[in-house]
Structure 1
Amino acid sequence: MLHTGYNPALVALSVSIAVLASYTALDLGSHVRSAASGPRWAWIAGAAVAMGGGIWSMHFVGMLAFEMGMPAAYDLGLTLLSLGLAIGFTGAAFAWIGRRGAATRDILIAGPVMGLGVAAMHYTGMAAMRVPGNLAYHWLVVWVSVAIAVTAATTALWLTFRQNSVWQKLIAACVMGVAVAGMHYTGMAAATFTAEAAGAHAAHAAELDHAQQNLALAVAGATFLILFLAMLAASFDQQRVGGELRASEARFRAAVQAVRGVLWTNDAEGRMVGEQPGWSAITGQTRSEYEGYGWAAAVHPDDAQASIEAWNETVRARRTFMHEHRVRSADGTWRHYAIRAIPVLDARGAIREWVGVHTDITEQRQAEAELRESNEEIQRYAYIVSHDLRAPLVNVMGFTSELETTREDVRAALQDHPRAAGIDADLAEALGFIKAAVTRMESLIAAILKLSREGRRTFAPERLDMTALLRRIADAQHHQTESAGARVIVAPDLPEVTADRLAVEQVFGNLIDNAVKYLDDARPGRIEVTAQTVGGGRVRFSVRDNGRGIAARDHARVFELFRRSGAQDKPGEGIGLAHVKALVRSLGGRIEVASEFGVGTTFSVTLPRESATGQGQDVPPVRLAAE
Structure 2
Amino acid sequence: MAEEELRRLRGELRRCRERTRELEDGIAAISHDLRSPLTNIDGFTRLLDHAVLQFRTLLDQAEIPASEHGRLSRTVSEIPEYLEYTLGGVQRMNSMISQLVRLSRIGATIELTRLDMNRLLAEVARDFEHRIRMTGVSLELPYLPACTGDAFEIGRLFSNLLDNALKCLDPAKERGLIRIAGRRIKQRAIYCMEDNGTGMTEEQQEQVREFLRGPELLPKGMSGMGLAIAKKIVKAHGGRIWFWAAPGIGCRFCVSLPG
- CA deviation string 1:479-520 (max 9, x = no partner): 64455444333343x432221111111211332343344334
- SS at 2:189 equivalent: strand
Alignment partner of 2:41 out of 389, 396, 405? 396
Residue identity in the other structure for 1:514: N
Alignment partner of 2:93 out of 419, 444, 455? 444
CA distance in 2, matches of 1:582, 1:437: 31
- SS at 1:511 equivalent: helix
Deviates more, 1:414-423 or 1:371-380: 414-423
Q: Does 1:497 align with 2:147?
A: yes
- SS at 2:244 equivalent: strand
List gaps (5 residues or longer) in structure 1: 1-281, 284-326, 330-334, 338-361, 565-573, 610-627
The count of aligned residue pairs is: 243
CA distance in 2, matches of 1:560, 1:415: 57
- CA deviation string 1:436-464 (max 9, x = no partner): 22431332223222331353353322111
CA distance in 2, matches of 1:428, 1:514: 36
Q: What is aligned with 1:519?
A: 169
- 8 Å CA contact 1:390, 1:442 repeated in 2: no
CA distance in 2, matches of 1:545, 1:595: 10
CA distance in 2, matches of 1:483, 1:435: 24
Shift of 1:402: 3.5
Shift of 1:390: 2.0
Q: What is aligned with 2:239?
A: 589
CA distance in 2, matches of 1:482, 1:406: 39
- 8 Å CA contact 2:23, 2:104 repeated in 1: no
Residue identity in the other structure for 1:503: E
Q: Could you say if the C-alpha distance between residues 370 and 427 of structure 1 is closer, same or farther in structure 2, counting changes exceeding 3 Å? A: farther
Shift of 1:433: 2.7
Q: Normalized against structure 2, the TM-score is what?
A: 0.73
- 8 Å CA contact 1:383, 1:449 repeated in 2: no
Residue identity in the other structure for 1:422: R
CA distance in 1, matches of 2:221, 2:39: 22
Q: Does 1:548 align with 2:198?
A: yes
- 8 Å CA contact 1:485, 1:524 repeated in 2: yes
Shift of 1:543: 0.9
CA RMSD of aligned residues (A): 3.5
Residue identity in the other structure for 2:37: P
Shift of 1:607: 1.8
Residues 245-394 of structure 1: matches in 2 within 5 Å? Answer: 282=1, 327=3, 329=4, 335-336=5-6, 362-363=8-9, 365-394=10-39
Shift of 1:553: 1.2
- SS at 1:598 equivalent: coil
- 8 Å CA contact 2:197, 2:251 repeated in 1: yes
Larger Rg: 1
- 8 Å CA contact 1:588, 1:607 repeated in 2: yes
Q: Does 1:508 align with 2:168?
A: no
CA distance in 2, matches of 1:402, 1:525: 42
Residues 162-181 of structure 1: matches in 2 within 5 Å? Answer: none
Q: Does 1:531 align with 2:182?
A: yes
Q: Could you say if the C-alpha distance between residues 562 and 370 of structure 1 is closer, same or farther in structure 2, counting changes exceeding 3 Å? A: farther
Q: What is aligned with 2:219?
A: 560
Tell me which stretches of 4 or more aligned residues in structure 1 moved more than 6 Å. none
Q: Does 1:466 align with 2:117?
A: yes
Q: Normalized against structure 1, the TM-score is what?
A: 0.34
Shift of 1:555: 2.3
Q: What is aligned with 1:575?
A: 225
Residues 196-275 of structure 1: matches in 2 within 5 Å? Answer: none
- 8 Å CA contact 1:587, 1:607 repeated in 2: yes
- CA deviation string 1:456-475 (max 9, x = no partner): 35332211122333344346
List gaps (5 residues or longer) in structure 2: 209-217
Q: What is aligned with 1:86?
A: none
Alignment partner of 1:455 out of 104, 109, 116? 104
- 8 Å CA contact 1:382, 1:448 repeated in 2: no
- SS at 2:192 equivalent: strand
- CA deviation string 1:177-203 (max 9, x = no partner): xxxxxxxxxxxxxxxxxxxxxxxxxxx
Alignment partner of 1:602 out of 244, 248, 252? 252
CA distance in 1, matches of 2:43, 2:133: 42
- SS at 2:6 equivalent: strand
Residue identity in the other structure for 1:374: R
